[in-house]
Amino acid sequence: MQDASAQMAILQFMLSRLPTTAVPTSIHCDHLIEAYQSAESDVAQALVTNREIFDFLQSAAEKYGVEFWKPGSGIIHQIVLENYAAPGTLMLGTDSHTPNAGGLGMLAIGVGGADAVDAMANIPWELKAPKVLGVRLTGRLNGWASPKDIILNLAGKLTVRGGTGHIIEYFGPGTDTLSCTGMGTICNMGAEVGATTSVFPYNSGMARYLAATRRAHIAAAADQAAGFLRPDEPVIAAPEKHYDQVIELDLDRLEPHINGPFTPDFSRPLSTMKTLIKEQGWPEDVSVGLIGSCTNSSYEDMTRAASIARQAAAKGIHAKSQFLVTPGSEQVRATIARDGLTGDLETIGATVLANACGPCIGQWKRTDGDHATRGEERPDLGPNAIVSSFNRNFRARNDGNAQTMNFLASPEIVTAMALSGRLSFNPVTDTLLDADGKPFKLDPPCGQELPDATAGFDEGRTVYRPIVQDPTEANLAANDVPIKVDPKSQRLQILEPFPAWNGGELEDLRILVKVAGKCTTDHISAAGQWLKYKGHLENIAHNTLIGALNADTGKVNSALNTVTGELGTIPEVGMAYRAAGIPWLVIADHNYGEGSAREHAAMQPRYLGCQLILTKSFARIHETNLKKQGVLPLTFRDEQDYDRLTGDGTMTVSTQGVADLRPGCPVYLQVTQTRPDGSQERFQIETKHTMSEDQIEWFKHGSALNLIASLTN
């Protein structure tokens, strides 16, 4: 669990009253460090700013037998790859990029905190049986093409919802040409196409990585079980007979890609950018180049970027854009420092940030001139472009500026663009000017999969090694640790159980907002400056749906209070409805809740009185999170019915079929629309749900947590 989601997961687990977690569990402090000046100063500031949260998480770890990784130790997914991942095993993580561990042959699935509580409380974890999408890789990457380009290309083919309900399984001879961390990059961004998870077959690259990270014994065991960790021969021979869908990718022909802005599936070859920039009116200047994040912060990533930096330094030039580097872990940081790679990057002007999520999750205090000011406050500045090796580029995600355009690429392409300062720069064909004004062309990057075997990885400063607990009940009882939450705290709040279902239909629901277009978990529960309230449900509820576009008003964060007849922000109206005891629902478009696994995007609406979300389709994790919190997720039987509904205050909605809710049975919505003259029109909309018998029990109890508490108490 990462620190932003672990707060709510621990607060929920506390209600189970169990003495220890039932499965090995770890907490990683990577989300709450704001990138500003330097690694040392930023971590020091985070320890002051977030002391209450870190103390809470560490005391909970001590109480329940959980391993605790301190702030500065690294990003959860890189640490998992280095320490926990193993071929053929299953892991749940409270972060949507948990599938990163698929690069080591692990079935790693991103979930909400309530799902993690299930596992921690020894409650069976449930997943709707996924389909399997096979991606056959042939050939070998060459030139400027990288593992990142494989998933950037695939995102364009599948779109942000094309992988929903699927596990993506990579196979074919091309898989044996990739490094373990390269495969991790590809699996990591499977989240961007909605996949349940992604996985590679066990191969020699994984064995080498395990040996390099002091786990040769796991590689030896995997070698013995290799037949179970790879596709069977009949599957290889006739994949179309075994996979639900097959996509072919020839790595020999793959060229560098760049995706964005505002959505990770807007994909195109880098060679087309010059034309697109002119057609779309995008900024030509690159304000900032950023490499790192959980997707691309491995040793190999850094060696490839450093190989570009060395060429530039040899020609006497520096980055024209601000250039920021985020190592994935203390182990990566220490190793690249020892091997001179940090110096290579700093020579061209890079600033090395803390081993943390930083700008990727919106923890970024920009310092690059005018754009350090939020775009909402200075609309006269217009859009600005950044390029990053991150995984997501939703509007306003990285810096809170809705006008910042984030383009996703490999670390080496980002480095080259930072040197040129131009979004149109293509290192495959274009030249730079050296210190004497003479043109030169960058050679393709070269990198090392792993550090030299004689030196190996440097584990770095011992202060960042995990605090390991003895999870036996006897030991924990002997060393009982109190977990204190100040009732006056603005950062932490003990949870009150959500009310149980009353057994009847849901009646007279107001439509809080009809959402138009993309609505990610960033839109529903923004991160960035709001991360400080992750442990305080009441406070963080004030950001509910602030990024959503109201289809009726055409404005972001706008809703009509049907009691007062006045427009307000969505949280303001939601709070007013909660105070008045008025239940409500949300109408939304396709893939509602895509993006991060944050369960706050389900808990906040529930806290404010939401009883139902009606959409054209849901993202998998978010739909489960809604079910966990006692919110009924429904989809239109006929998507055109979306156009019949409005949030203009004239409609109320009641259900028919909830009182006898059963798997596979429809739920009808009885809609009453009141006209200005007082007359009314009534019509019915048919909807579907995916609730299982167990999930219906969650709904009846008011939440999955309420059910767990009733069982454990």
Which residues have a catalytic role annotated?
30-31, 95, 392, 596, 598
What six digits make up the tokens of 382?
């217009």
What six digits make up the tokens of 34?
């704001």
668: burial class by Cβ within 10 Å (0-12, 13-18, 19+)? Answer: middle
- Residue 232 C-alpha from the chain's centroid: 32
What six digits make up the tokens of 378?
């200075």
Contact status, residue 260 vs residue 408, Cβ threshold 8 Å: yes
Contact status, residue 638 vs residue 676, Cβ threshold 8 Å: no
**Bridge partners, 667 (sequence order):** 687
Contact status, residue 101 vs residue 108, Cβ threshold 8 Å: yes
Contact status, residue 596 vs residue 93, Cβ threshold 8 Å: no
138: burial class by Cβ within 10 Å (0-12, 13-18, 19+)? Answer: middle
DSSP for 413-471 reads: HHHHHHHHTBTT--TTT--EE-TTS-EE-PPPP---SS--TTT------GGGS-B----
User: What is the C-alpha to C-alpha distance for residues 236 and 136, in angstroms, rounded to an integer?
Assistant: 9
User: What is the C-alpha to C-alpha distance for residues 548 and 513, in angstroms, rounded to an integer?
Assistant: 9
- Residue 85 C-alpha from the chain's centroid: 19
CA atoms within 13 A on the CB side of 100: 26
Does 427 sit behind a cis peptide bond, omega within 30 degrees of 0 on the bond before it?
A: no
In 3-state terms, what secondary structure has residue 386? strand
Q: In what order do the strands lie in the sheet with 267-269?
A: 267-269, 257-259, 404-408, 384-388, 286-291, 322-325, 350-352
